Amino acid sequence: MSDKVIIKNLNKSFPGNNGQLRVLSDINLSIQEGQIVSVIGGSGCGKSTLLRILAGLDTDYQGEVLFDGKPVTKPTREKGIIFQDHRLLPWLTAEENIRFSLPGDVPDKNALIQHYLDLVGLAGFEKTYPKQLSGGMAQRVAVARALANKPKILLLDEPFGALDAITKISMQDELLSIWDKEPITMVLVTHDIDEAIYLGHRVVVMTPRPGRIKGIYDVELNIPKSRTGLDFIKIKEVVFQEFFGASGSPFIYNI
């Protein structure tokens, strides 16, 4: 498989009170086509900034960020983004929100919109306004909107962070089943260790001040993935130790 995204020596600073504040320090990462990569870290580790740079929403950085071999300079439809907030236009219905995102020259928009609303399990809610949808449903519309644009990569910025635990779990499973049908490259930024391991083929652990990559782990879980199996717990422990250090781990696993 080829590298979809290549990040080389990426550095990023924000102007702060005492000169420049370094948010990303020497990030190197390659993402293969069709892979789901989770980026996990505490607040302020620069993981969302990294995603915004990948999306082309932030272009003020040093280093190299290549997408399909070309430098990322601006946002495009090829790079779908799911934000933490669903970011649906409140004055448009579910259907109209997806239509809004599509380019003018797409043939048979109605069928396309219907297909993706069905895919995320929202058949029957075409004419519903975002205010009338629950948080999980609104986020599904956002997923349908991103997918309808046939992106080559899907960038997810804590997509389920605002949802309750139960909804979150079912959304994670749905995301995996969508990936089974359309194995699209995904980068998922999260602060939830379970989510990172459950969804990711690779887990990138980042630490703050300045944000840097501390380790990258391949997750080889059985398919279908399990949230409670031995493999899951083993990897979770490794990631935990990466975060809190071998001695500082607040939990003791007895496997």
Partner 1 sequence: MKFFKNKTLRFWLISLILPLALLGAWKGADLLGMLKPYTMPKPESVIDTAVELAAAGKLHVHVLSSILLVLKGFLLALAAGLILGVLIGLSKRIEAFFELTVQIFKPIPPIAWIPLAILWLGIEDKSKLYIIFLGALFPILLNVISGIKNIDRKYFELAKVYEVPGMKLIFRVVLPGALPEIMTGIRVGLGNAWVCVVAAEMIASVTGVGYLLTYGRSLSRPDMVILAMLLIGIIGKVMDDGLKFVSKMLTKWNNGEEALVR
Smallest gap from residue 153 Cβ to partner 1 (A): 13
Smallest gap from residue 178 Cβ to partner 1 (A): 19
Q: 85 or 237, CB closer to partner 1?
A: 85
Q: Name which of residues 75 to 94 contact partner 1 (CB under 8 A).
A: 75-77, 79, 81, 83, 85, 87, 89-92
Q: 120 or 235, CB closer to partner 1?
A: 120
Based on DSSP, count helices (H) and strands (E) in the chain, helices before strands: 7, 10
Rounded-to-integer distance, Cα 44 and Cα 38, Å: 16
Rounded-to-integer distance, Cα 39 and Cα 162, Å: 17
Q: Name which of residues 42 to 81 contact partner 1 (CB under 8 A).
A: 55, 57, 74-77, 79, 81
Is 131 one of the binding residues for partner 1 (CB under 8 A)? Answer: yes
Query: Which letter, b or e, does each residue of 42-60 get, where b requires 16 or more Cβ atoms within 10 Å of its Cβ?
Result: eeebbbbbbbbbbbbebee
Q: What is the maximum alpha-carbon separation in the chain?
A: 59
Q: Name which of residues 140 to 179 contact partner 1 (CB under 8 A).
A: 149
In the chain, the amino acid numbered 98 is I
Q: 91 or 253, CB closer to partner 1?
A: 91
Segment near partner 1 (CB under 8 A); pick from 25-33, 130-138, 229-237, 246-254: 130-138
Closest of 92, 12, 9, 93 to residue 47, by C-alpha: 12
